[in-house]
Amino acid sequence: MAAESLENAGRETGVELVVETQGSAGFTRLDPALIAAADGVILAHDVPVRDKDRFAGKPTVDVGVKAGINRPGELIAEVRQKAARGETTAPATAGTPVERTGESGEGYGTKLRKWLMSGVSYMVPFVAAGGLLIAIGFALGGYKVNKAPSVMDHFVWSQTDSWAALMFQIGGVAFAFLVPVLAGYIAYGIADRPGLVPGFVGGSIALTINAGFLGGLAAGLISGAVVTAIQRVRIPQALRGIMPVVVIPLISSAVVGFLMFVVIGKPIATAQKGMTDWLSGLSGANAVLLGALLGLMMCFDLGGPVNKVAYTFATAGIAVSDPSDSAMKVMAAVMAAGMVPPLAMALATTVRGRLFTETERENGKAAWVLGASFISEGAIPFAAADPLRVIPSAMVGGALTGALSMAFGATLRAPHGGVFVVPLIGNPFLYLIAVAAGVCVSTGLVVALKTLRGSAPGAPGGEREKGEHGQAARAGAADREQPVAA
């Protein structure tokens, strides 16, 4: 979404802008020659930028993804101003991390959010793959598949039960990586590559002592802090070569292991058990209220940290071989609520297209598929353009859907998939009713609020707007510069 906003702003201002996206699907590196020719660099990210030393020595603007979506024109203007003034980042040297401009002024709350998002973003593919494999295993082999013997000892090609056991056991192995990956990449977000070893070690210890996701969070934060502290110690030049390979992994793993096993592991494991017991005991009005709260969180920032907290809470409950009924209800409520915002925006652009710009109507077509697939980020372009109308409307619909899903007793063993995993949902008909109810309410609210405003600013057909756009295009073309890499 940020990439699209920046590219559109570049076209409007006549600036040649080339984007490199770094997501869970990997990334294609920009040509080094293009980077060398660029006037400046815009980094819009909520997790660490990979190989950011490539951009050292360039005028740089470093912001979060939200800024890239909401104010791309300002970012382009800012980086061009820095280029005109000759402001650059420090050149990279061997063994020296490139500083991110603006990071020193960030508060600890912002930094903590980025660190946690780093861990969660790397964990989610394991959640999706493992959870879906486990769900397929249950669908093929029934609820007794978790009692099946190891497929290493017993596997018959022609028997469905053997394939069910295979899917279930592969999914279980994938799920076993959740906590170590979460901890490892939280530490990576804090301390870069040296944080990976103690992070994975601490996360594995959290799994061993039954400290669960809370233990993984603690292990990741502690690992990053320990590695950062070690890196600040001045050492002789002769020893610097072995620091990242031997000294830092050895000392940090020992310290993190000691803290997890001896100091904080048991209290965290107790807290994790208490949370699990509380979740298992939920019923009646309490369960409905929890569903509404989780629905609000899922729709508050559409894939942001609050959304990820609710999603991680739900997946933590089903990341076991035999999840409780309450945990599966929570997972169902979270996925249902997360589908509401993009589906509601898609429906709104269909029934009241004149209230939306041409670009928003095109985004609405894609939002049908994104919403059906449980990709809440499909509503981000709408929320970025009109947050005061879109976000509250989405939250109301999401809260209703979450509450209804819990009230109907819908369950879900898969952590992802949207409507494509309906066969794996308990009470699927009522579940779809809950989703439809939330979508209709959100659609009605956003249409009503936008109707009070009138036709969308920037909608095609306005003479004044056409004139303004024409002037902007002419001014931008006259002021064309060298490419800005983003």
Per-residue pLDDT, averaged over 13-21, amounts to 84
Per-residue pLDDT, averaged over 132-139, amounts to 80
Per-residue pLDDT, averaged over 85-101, amounts to 52
Per-residue burial over 174-209, b if 16 or more Cβ lie within 10 Å, else e, is bbebbbbbbbbbbbbbbbbebbbbbbbbbbbbbbeb
> Which of 60-69, 270-279, 388-397 shows the lowest mean pLDDT across its residues?
270-279
Per-residue pLDDT, averaged over 416-440, amounts to 90
pLDDT of the residue at 456:
56
**Integer Cα distance of 36 and 151 in angstroms:** 54
Per-residue pLDDT, averaged over 34-45, amounts to 86
How would residue 455 be classed by pLDDT, with cut points 50, 70 and 90? Answer: low
pLDDT above 90: percentage of residues in the chain = 26
pLDDT of the residue at 282:
64
Res. 38: pLDDT tops 70 = yes
Per-residue pLDDT, averaged over 224-231, amounts to 92
Res. 123: pLDDT tops 60 = yes
How would residue 99 be classed by pLDDT, with cut points 50, 70 and 90? Answer: very low
Q: Which of 94-108, 229-243, 284-298 has the highest mean pLDDT?
A: 284-298
- Per-residue pLDDT tens for 235-292? 888 777 888 888 899 999 999 999 999 988 889 888 877 877 776 666 667 889 999 9
Per-residue pLDDT, averaged over 185-190, amounts to 90
pLDDT of the residue at 462:
43
pLDDT of the residue at 484:
56
Candidates 55, 51, 71; CA nearest to 63 is 71
Radius of gyration of the chain (CA): 25
Alpha-carbon dihedral sign for residues 123, 317, 394, 110: negative
Distance of CA 176 to the CA centre of its chain: 20
How would residue 391 be classed by pLDDT, with cut points 50, 70 and 90? Answer: very high
How would residue 481 be classed by pLDDT, with cut points 50, 70 and 90? Answer: very low
pLDDT of the residue at 334:
94
Q: Is 73:13 a contact under the CB 8 Å cutoff?
A: yes
Domains plus CATH for the chain?
Answer: 2-105 (3.40.50.2300), 108-272 (no CATH), 281-460 (no CATH)
pLDDT of the residue at 438:
96
How would residue 98 be classed by pLDDT, with cut points 50, 70 and 90? Answer: very low
Res. 117: pLDDT tops 90 = no
**Sequence-separated (6 or more) residues with CB below 8 Å from residue 427:** 408, 409, 410, 411
Lookup: tokens for 344: 């509601």
Candidates 349, 338, 403; CA nearest to 371 is 338
Per-residue pLDDT, averaged over 325-334, amounts to 89
**Integer Cα distance of 395 and 297 in angstroms:** 8
Query: Looking at the DSSP assignment, which residues form a beta bridge with residue 62?
Result: 43
- Per-residue pLDDT tens for 137-165? 877 877 677 778 888 888 888 888 888 88
Res. 95: pLDDT tops 70 = no
pLDDT of the residue at 187:
92
pLDDT of the residue at 93:
42
Res. 199: pLDDT tops 80 = yes
Residue/partner pairs of 288-291 with CB below 8 Å, 24 or more apart: 288/403, 288/406, 288/407, 289/403, 290/330, 290/333, 290/406, 291/329, 291/330, 291/333, 291/337, 291/402, 291/403, 291/404, 291/405, 291/406, 291/407
Per-residue pLDDT, averaged over 356-378, amounts to 87
pLDDT of the residue at 26:
54
Q: Burial level of 284, CB count in 10 A (0-12/13-18/19+)?
A: exposed
Q: Is 482:39 a contact under the CB 8 Å cutoff?
A: yes
**Sequence-separated (6 or more) residues with CB below 8 Å from residue 268:** 206, 211, 214, 215, 218
Res. 465: pLDDT tops 60 = no
Per-residue pLDDT, averaged over 22-42, amounts to 76
pLDDT of the residue at 408:
93
pLDDT of the residue at 393:
94
